[in-house]
């Protein structure tokens, strides 16, 4: 087999409508081909017809196809002897003459800039990998174009950094033990602008190495890096100076007030986002030093969640020194209503406020902020018992209704709110797009009916643990024609399939549905979503044994369904057969956790899902090494596999799956 844009083979290639002797080595509706690894189908294939508006000369490919077809016809004609019989030697001679010097048309027509434009049309990272397998030139174009990667293993870091010289966004959060590697490779990160080191076991030495080489960093995530201290952070921010725009130190338990004060001196004019959540050593004094001097006009996002030593004094300093704040998270702090009143009076640009588990805040403080009428997002709830606490009753809802700009509202554990309070909010906040109600036991059909009538733009609705949400209430939700995402969990069996059917028929443009932990949800309700919602991309079903394979008999969203989570339902191999037969070309994530009837037969059906990237089958105890072999043979794009509690899988099965799925990055196998 020769390497080139078009190659011929004497074996059946089955890649062209003109004959079985042609394989294409460029992007087309057939896919892409690489001589080393075989045929690599592109999952976001772009044919000549789709590319023609961008590159007018692409009809050449159609003429080239015709030339090949004519060559084969002439070979057939010349391969007949005087008696009209076929002559294989003549056929092979003509094909060898044609393949000796095939014209390299596509690389002559498309420049590197044009190839880059084609590459940027591909949205799936796996399609970029397929693009790089076409030929060496395309490999180089892809290497020089890719700007963002996630590295899953430390040992690949050096090779990947050398292959992609123009990276600007690097995610190393999957490589925890990267301290020594980061020190040795810090010079290779000099062009990186965004770096994620979440949960990495790095020390101040690594931060000092980054400070000496990564002079272009604008965003740095160090969340839960528990070994770094004030010294390392101080040296880093001093080196980056006014270039740093985003810094995340959430969960860095050794960070104290000293580091917070240094950030101000070096990044005052550039820093827009700062996260200090769960940094228990930070106090009001740290916030005072943080905003000391000139106002911190650049800062727009500040996260102080669960910094328990922050009180009203610290919030007063923030309100005075950060006038441009648009997003503030003060969950789990020690502030009171006085702090919220200062926020309402000073932060005139505040649009997003999160207050959860703040035991000293009452409904009066929440209403004081809401009355300013500027908030777009408000999250309140999960407050500890005992006075004082946020009652969030109907009177409080009347105050929230004054915030007409509110687009996202999340209310958690608001047991004192009734249908009347929810109706008041719905009438006053007609711009609501996202609504979340958790453990609001006094909300039912009457309140949700007003939501359906007044909030016509509602796109996302979450109902968790609301015991009064029944079929009538779900029928009211069906009036929200613009609804795109729906989550209903733990409704204590008060809702049935009839309510789900009403939503499916009333909201046919749903993209994401999550239902579960209700023993009255069964096949009819799930089948309604699969048959009525033709744009459905993600479906979650959990905790109901009344859901069986019958729910998947009618699937109208086979062209869009990408993610399917089926936890703790009565799913068997026949159900996987139906799923694979209808969604094999689109499904990228499948979760069948705690489905004990799934066996090796079901794995054979799963192997038909060639685009599958993530598979979770924890505690499917009938799955053995045979099932792993079946998955390895068909799911070549698999990246993550979790099979915890599958006692039938041995080291042999693990070896088979790791050798067969070359894209595999993470395997979780834990025997019970």
CATH number for position 668: 3.80.10.10
Co-location of 534 and 397 in the same domain: yes
- The answer to whether position 335 is within a domain reads no
Cα separation, 204 vs 209, in Å, equals: 9
Co-location of 484 and 607 in the same domain: no
Cα separation, 77 vs 462, in Å, equals: 68
Helices (H) and strands (E) in the chain, counts: 26, 25
| CA distances for 503 relative to 410, 442, 485, 506, 515, angstroms | 21, 21, 11, 5, 12
pLDDT at 363: 83
What's the pTM?
A: 0.78
**Is the model's pLDDT at 330 over the cut of 60?**
yes
Co-location of 69 and 25 in the same domain: yes
Cα separation, 350 vs 362, in Å, equals: 20
**Chain segment 344-397, per-residue pLDDT in tens:** 999 999 999 999 888 788 888 888 888 876 899 999 976 554 444 446 788 889
Residue 575 pLDDT level (bands cut at 50, 70, 90): very high
Co-location of 431 and 409 in the same domain: yes
Cα separation, 205 vs 211, in Å, equals: 10
pLDDT at 40: 34
- The answer to whether position 288 is within a domain reads no
Cα separation, 565 vs 600, in Å, equals: 19
Cα separation, 328 vs 196, in Å, equals: 22
Alpha helices of 520-619 — where are they, by DSSP H?
Answer: 523-532, 573-583, 600-606
Co-location of 519 and 624 in the same domain: no
Co-location of 541 and 577 in the same domain: no
Domain hosting 56: range is: 6-141
- The answer to whether position 432 is within a domain reads yes
Taking phi over 0 as left and psi of -120 to 50 as alpha, with beta for the rest, 425 belongs to alpha
Our count of domains for the chain comes to: 3
- The answer to whether position 164 is within a domain reads no
Task: Average the pLDDT over 533-549 and give the result.
Answer: 92
Range with the lowest mean pLDDT among 308-317, 370-379, 560-569, 663-672? 663-672
Q: What is the mean pLDDT of the chain?
A: 82
- Count, residues in the chain: 672
Co-location of 58 and 127 in the same domain: yes
Co-location of 502 and 591 in the same domain: no
Question: What residues contact 53, with CB distance under 8 A and at least 6 apart?
Answer: none
**Chain segment 385-436, per-residue pLDDT in tens:** 444 444 678 888 988 898 889 999 999 888 889 999 999 999 999 999 999 9
pLDDT at 364: 86
- The answer to whether position 296 is within a domain reads no
**Is the model's pLDDT at 586 over the cut of 50?**
yes
Co-location of 526 and 607 in the same domain: no
- The answer to whether position 317 is within a domain reads no
Co-location of 520 and 589 in the same domain: no
- What are the percentages of helix, strand and coil residues in the chain, rounded to 5? 40, 15, 45
E strands, 507-588, in order: 512-516, 538-542, 563-567
Question: Tell me, what DSSP letter sits at residue 194?
Answer: E
Question: Tell me, what DSSP letter sits at residue 383?
Answer: P
- The answer to whether position 148 is within a domain reads no
Look at residue 244 and give its three-state secondary structure. coil
pLDDT at 191: 87
Rg (CA), the chain: 30
Residue 463 pLDDT level (bands cut at 50, 70, 90): very high
Cα separation, 337 vs 343, in Å, equals: 10
**Is the model's pLDDT at 600 over the cut of 70?**
yes
Co-location of 547 and 594 in the same domain: no
- The answer to whether position 225 is within a domain reads no
Torsion of CA 255, 261, 262, 267, to 10 degrees: 110
**Is-contact 442 417, C-beta < 8 A?**
yes
**Chain segment 188-240, per-residue pLDDT in tens:** 788 899 999 999 999 999 999 998 888 889 999 999 999 999 999 999 999 98
Domain boundary pick from 81, 106, 141:
141
Domain boundary pick from 561, 585, 615:
561
Question: What residues contact 389, with CB distance under 8 A and at least 6 apart?
Answer: 359, 362, 383
Range with the lowest mean pLDDT among 171-185, 516-530, 602-616? 171-185
Domain boundary pick from 141, 165, 194:
141
- Quick one: which H or E segment has residue 301? strand 301-303
Co-location of 497 and 439 in the same domain: yes
**Chain segment 38-79, per-residue pLDDT in tens:** 333 333 333 333 333 444 443 333 333 333 333 333 334 444
Question: What residues contact 277, with CB distance under 8 A and at least 6 apart?
Answer: 250, 251, 303, 304, 305, 306, 307, 329
Q: 321: closest CA among 346, 348, 351, 285?
A: 346
């Amino acid at each position: 087999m020769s390497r080139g844009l078009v190659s011929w083979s004497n074996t059946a290639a089955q890649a062209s409508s003109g004959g079985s002797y042609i394989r294409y080595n460029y992007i087309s509706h057939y896919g892409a081909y690489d001589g080393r690894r075989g045929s690599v189908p592109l999952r976001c294939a772009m044919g000549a017809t789709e590319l023609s508006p961008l590159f007018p000369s692409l009809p050449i490919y159609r003429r080239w196809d015709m030339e090949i077809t004519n060559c084969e016809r002439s070979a057939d004609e010349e391969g007949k002897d005087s008696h009209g019989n076929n002559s294989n030697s003549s056929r092979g001679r003509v094909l060898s003459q044609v393949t000796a010097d095939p014209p390299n048309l596509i690389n002559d027509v498309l420049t590197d800039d044009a190839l880059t434009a084609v590459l940027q049309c591909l949205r799936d990272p796996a399609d970029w990998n397929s693009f790089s397998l076409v030929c060496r030139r395309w490999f180089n174009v892809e290497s020089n174009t890719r700007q963002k990667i996630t590295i899953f293993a430390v040992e690949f870091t050096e090779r990947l950094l050398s292959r992609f010289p123009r990276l600007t966004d690097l995610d190393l959060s999957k490589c925890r033990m990267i301290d020594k590697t980061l020190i040795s490779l810090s010079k290779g990160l000099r062009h990186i602008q965004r770096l994620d080191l979440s949960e990495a076991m790095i020390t101040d030495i690594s931060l000092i190495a980054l400070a000496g080489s990564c002079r272009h960093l604008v965003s740095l995530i160090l969340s839960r890096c528990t070994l770094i201290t004030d010294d390392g952070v101080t040296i880093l921010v001093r080196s980056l100076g006014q270039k740093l725009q985003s810094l995340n130190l959430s969960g860095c338990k050794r960070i104290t007030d000293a580091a917070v004060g240094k950030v101000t001196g070096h990044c005052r004019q550039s820093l827009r986002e700062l996260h200090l959540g769960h940094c228990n050593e930070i106090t009001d004094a740290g916030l005072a030093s943080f905003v000391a001097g000139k106002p911190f006009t650049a800062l727009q996002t500040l996260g102080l969640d669960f910094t328990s030593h922050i009180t009203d004094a610290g919030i007063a300093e923030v309100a005075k020194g950060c006038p441009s704040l648009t997003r503030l998270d003060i969950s789990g702090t020690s502030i009171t209503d006085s702090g919220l009143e200062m926020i309402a009076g000073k932060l005139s640009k505040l649009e997003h406020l999160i207050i959860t588990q703040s035991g000293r805040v009452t409904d009066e403080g929440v209403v004081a902020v809401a009355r300013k009428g500027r908030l777009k997002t408000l999250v309140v709830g999960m407050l500890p018992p005992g006075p004082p606490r946020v009652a969030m009753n109907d009177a409080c809802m009347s105050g929230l209704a004054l915030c007409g700009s509110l687009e996202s509202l999340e209310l958690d554990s608001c047991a004192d709110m009734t249908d009347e309070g929810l109706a008041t909010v719905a009438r006053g906040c007609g711009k609501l797009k996202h609504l979340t109600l958790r453990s609001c036991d006094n909300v039912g059909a009457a309140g949700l009916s007003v939501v359906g009538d007044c909030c016509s733009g509602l796109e996302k609705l979450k109902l968790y643990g609301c015991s009064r949400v029944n079929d009538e209430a779900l029928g009211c939700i069906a009036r929200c024609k613009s609804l795109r995402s729906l989550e209903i969990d733990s409704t204590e069996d008060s809702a049935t399939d009839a309510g789900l059917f009403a939503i499916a028929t009333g909201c046919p443009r749903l993209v994401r549905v999550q239902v579960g932990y209700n023993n009255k949800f069964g096949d009819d309700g799930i089948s309604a979503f699969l048959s009525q919602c033709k744009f459905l991309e993600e479906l979650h079903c959990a905790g109901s044994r009344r859901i069986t394979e019958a729910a998947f008999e009618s699937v109208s969203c086979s062209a869009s369904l990408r993610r399917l989570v089926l936890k703790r339902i009565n799913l068997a191999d026949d159900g996987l057969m139906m799923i694979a037969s209808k969604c094999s070309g689109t499904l990228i994530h499948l979760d069948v956790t705690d489905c004990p009837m799934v066996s090796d037969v079901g794995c054979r059906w799963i192997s038909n899902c060639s685009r599958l990237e993530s598979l979770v089958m924890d505690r499917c105890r009938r799955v053995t090494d045979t099932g792993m072999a079946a998955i390895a043979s068909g799911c070549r794009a698999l990246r993550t596999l979790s099979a915890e509690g599958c006692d039938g899988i041995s080291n042999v099965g693990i070896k088979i799956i790791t050798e067969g799925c070359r894209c595999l990055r993470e395997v979780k196998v834990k025997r019970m």
